[in-house]
Amino acid sequence: MKLFTKYNRILILISFSGLLIIGFLFYRMLVFYLDQQIDHDLVEEIMEVKEYSVNGNFYKPHEFEDLVVQYKKIAKAQNTSAYGDTIYFNALKHKKETARFLKTQLILDGQPYQIVVISSKSEKQEQIRNICLIILIPVMILFAIVLFINRILLKQIWTPFEQLLKNITTFNINREKPYEPVEMPVEEFRQLNRVLVELSGKVKSDYDEIKLFTENASHEMMTPLAVINSKLDNMLQSNTLGKGDGDTLIELYKATSRLTKLNQSLLLLVKIDNNLLQDEELVNLKSLIQEKAVYFDELIAERKITVDMDLLDVTVSASPQLLDILINNLFSNVIRHNYEFGKVEIKLDTDRIIFANTGHNKALDPKKIFDRFYKDNSSEGTGLGLAILKQICNRQGYGLSYNYQLDLHCFTITFNK
């Protein structure tokens, strides 16, 4: 939920609740005032009853009055009075109405009587309803106007903030275009904008320095490694070396080759992490897999591995460089970690590709297998192959999963729709 929407909902909820509470209290106060006024009128009616009875007559209200006086002879009169609400039948209006009564005991014409005076509340209640409507309707209209104006003002205040969020979202440190500042009407937002401008500039500067350092370091490492490999090749081809020297040089050669692969893999990861391989076009996966199968055919034949391919004609829109690296690493992985006379199964359909292979090890840890430098002790790789797969899938929006079934290590890549 957006902040603007949440604020409006809270404001409406609090205002509406407050309006209900205030309206209820106002109504109860009017009812209380009405009861007090009717009670005062009832006392006056009792006084009229006493005055009227001096002449030996009983007081009766006029027909047009919503008033009833009831007399009941009792054994002994006590000085007690009681007020309360009741419902009575209004003979003039021929309907039942709410009323207020006063019950007391008096000596009339020398005899004790219980007197009940009942006064209708109908007209008074109608007045209360009219008063409430007269007051509450303008208040509700004012409330609606305030909400409308508040919405407009808040929208004007928050529109630059939304543009600020949009600029942050679209900001890309790989592009030369700097972060675009936004004109903000509020001082706190202006301060936030200044901080973002400074922060984005620092991030861009630091990123450019790290990127330049990584590229330069990688390039500088490749040169001495190439020289070392060349010298080792020459020495290995020399006839003057002894057997022990040759074995030592072979180990050095393997270590240097592994260091070269590690350097290339790290450089590739840096490029993928920094989204430097952004070109995108339509790539036919079936043709790419068949092409890579031919490329690895010699290694497959050397280890006598059986390859079973079930490929549909599938085309995806993606970076051709990343897909080439992806398929290349999948082939390399299922061959390197297989054994002689092993099996490889490759299945391609419209929404996924599966590479499955036999291997010396049983099920691997699916939570760690895609971590950088994670590998089993028998592996001679760099431990970055599957990490590169994971990073490519993240960049392309693909799903990557591993499971072990029917003695096969299965790597499944699910394409984005």
Question: How far is the C-alpha of 118 from the C-alpha of 254, rounded, in Å?
Answer: 113
The token pair that represents 413 in the structure block: 């890549």
Q: What is the 8-class DSSP label of residue 175?
A: S
Question: How far is the C-alpha of 222 from the C-alpha of 215, rounded, in Å?
Answer: 11
- Give the amino acid at 167: N
The 10s digit of each residue's pLDDT in 325-335 is: 888 888 888 88
pLDDT band at 379 (very low <50, low <70, confident <90, very high): low
Beta-bridge mates of residue 113:
73, 106
Q: What is the 8-class DSSP label of residue 179?
A: P
Are 348 and 333 in contact by the 8 Å Cβ rule? The answer is no
Lowest mean pLDDT among 142-151, 189-198, 220-229: 220-229
Q: What is the 8-class DSSP label of residue 296?
A: T
* Inter-CA distances, 43 with 18, 51, 82, 125, Å: 37, 13, 11, 20
Which pLDDT does position 377 carry in this prediction? Answer: 53
The token pair that represents 94 in the structure block: 């021929």
- CB count, 10 Å around CB of 351? 11
Residue with tokens 């051709």, as numbered in its chain: 320
pLDDT band at 37 (very low <50, low <70, confident <90, very high): confident
pLDDT band at 32 (very low <50, low <70, confident <90, very high): confident
The 10s digit of each residue's pLDDT in 47-58 is: 887 877 766 677
Name which of 367, 338, 340, 372 is nearest 355 in CA terms: 338
Are 4 and 155 in contact by the 8 Å Cβ rule? The answer is yes
Helix (H) or strand (E) holding 115: strand 111-120
- Give the amino acid at 41: D
Name which of 166, 153, 174 is nearest 193 in CA terms: 166
pTM of the model: 0.45
Name which of 63, 109, 101, 103 is nearest 79 in CA terms: 103
Mean pLDDT rounded to a whole number for the chain:
78
Question: How far is the C-alpha of 290 from the C-alpha of 353, rounded, in Å?
Answer: 13
Question: How far is the C-alpha of 408 from the C-alpha of 417, rounded, in Å?
Answer: 27
64 φ, ψ (degrees, to nearest 5) = -80, -5
Question: How far is the C-alpha of 132 from the C-alpha of 134, rounded, in Å?
Answer: 5
Which pLDDT does position 401 carry in this prediction? Answer: 87
pLDDT band at 94 (very low <50, low <70, confident <90, very high): confident
One DSSP character per residue, 239-276 reads: SS--HHHHHHHHHHHHHHHHHHHHHHHHHHHHHHHTT-
pLDDT (average), residues 23-38? 85
